[in-house]
Amino acid sequence: MSYKGVGWWFEGGHQSINQAKFEHARGDVSTNEVKSYFAMLKCGIIVSFHSVSKKHLHRYCDEFSFRWNERKVTEAERTVTAIVLSNTGRPRYKEPISKRA
């Protein structure tokens, strides 16, 4: 199991299934949601962004995590949440260099 020991991070703990034995779900334990998340991330990168750099990959993952976490609300509610969370205005990597007089 590649995620052994990760359970202490999560309130509900961590369970696994054995896909090598063709087990795809057991009760409420499955890989469906994580596969759906990564499919959405991959599709977004391929279709919208075309490629990403390792340097900024965490930013793309943050954006798609927000989309995933807000997937059950309306577009209007998601927009309001995004505006509230982005109280700093347009994000910049560095402040632009001002021209000296």
Give residue 99's pLDDT.
Answer: 63
Given a cut of 90, whether residue 12 has pLDDT beyond it is no
The pLDDT > 90 percentage for the chain reads 22
Give residue 89's pLDDT.
Answer: 61
The letter for the amino acid at 49 is F
Task: Note the pLDDT tens digit of each residue in 19-29.
Answer: 888 888 888 88
Residue 50 lies inside a defined structural domain of this protein: yes
Element housing 29 (H / E): strand 29-30
Residue 94 lies inside a defined structural domain of this protein: no
How many domains in the chain?
1
Give the residue numbers spanning the domain of 38: 16-85
Q: Decide: 46 and 38 in contact? Cβ < 8 Å.
A: no
Instruction: Tell me the pLDDT of the chain averaged across its residues.
Output: 81
Residue 11 lies inside a defined structural domain of this protein: no
Give residue 49's pLDDT.
Answer: 87
The pLDDT > 70 percentage for the chain reads 77
